[in-house]
Amino acid sequence: MDALPASHTLRGMSDQIGVLFLCTANSCRSQMAEALLREVGGKRFKAMSAGATPCGYIHPLAIATMEKMGVSMDGQRSKGLEEFADVKVDVAITVCEAAAKEACPTWPGATGFVNWGLPDPAGFNGTDEQRLEFAVLVAKRIKAKVAALVMLDFDKLSAGELLREIAALKEL
């Protein structure tokens, strides 16, 4: 992260900033993060998500949560890391919660790599209503982080400064 030249920025030749959200199954948190960045960041960002071992579907809790928040997931599907081998990724953000002993995937192709560590709604036990309530809470945390991410000045801050700012969003 700090080995990059001070003048280096995360912006490449493209106008879009590529953000890849990673988790193990690519079914819930990373899918919600992708949808929320697309909603909040607009065309300035290329929102993507993938999993180390994708489960092949979007978890019903993620779908219900985004519907409840009025956020579209149209066109999204569970994807593996290999689909992004040739895609420009400026920032890779894992959403796996290390405290839960989840195996977080890595992304060596990104200019920057950070972890936001969020609890997994798919693993939350309770009634359907409690599970949806918990998923909405997690999604609201993701939305707060994404809203702060899109406010960062990707044109003026160095890559190192941006990565520190993005990593600090974990605390939101």
Query: What are the tens digits of pLDDT across the range 49-106?
Result: 999 899 999 999 999 999 999 999 999 999 999 999 888 888 999 998 864 455 566 6
pLDDT at 13 over 50: no
Distance CA 128, CA 68 (A): 14
Is residue 30 in some structural domain? yes
Strands 91-94 and 45-51: unpaired
Let me know if residue 1 belongs to a domain.
Answer: no
pLDDT for residue 15: 79
Q: Report the predicted TM-score, pTM, of the whole model to 2 decimal places.
A: 0.88
Task: List the catalytic residue out of 19, 66, 96, 163.
Answer: 96
H-type alpha helices, the chain: 29-41, 60-69, 128-151, 159-168
Average pLDDT for the chain: 87
Residue 50, domain member (yes or no) = yes
The reply to whether 12 falls in a domain is no
Question: Catalytic residue among 19, 23, 36, 73, which?
Answer: 23
Q: Do the domain assignments include residue 70?
A: yes
Q: What is the CATH number of the domain that holds 150?
A: 3.40.50.2300
Catalytic residue among 4, 104, 150, 152: 104
| Residue 21 burial (C-beta neighbours within 10 Å; 0-12, 13-18, 19+) | buried
Residue 111 placed within a domain: yes
Which domain, by its residues, includes 167?
17-171
How many separate domains does the chain show? 1
Please confirm, yes or no, whether 55 is among the known catalytic residues: no
Q: How many Cα neighbours within 13 Å face the side chain of 165?
A: 18
Catalytic residue flag (residue 96): yes
Q: How far apart are CA 52 and CA 77, in angstroms?
A: 14
Is pLDDT of 7 > 60? no
Does 67 reside within a domain? yes
pLDDT value of position 72 = 97
> Which residue type sits at 145?
K
What is the per-residue pLDDT for 103? 58
Active-site annotation holds for 28: no
Q: How far apart are CA 90 and CA 35, in angstroms?
A: 18
Q: Is residue 6 part of a domain?
A: no
How confident is the model at residue 14, as a pLDDT? 54
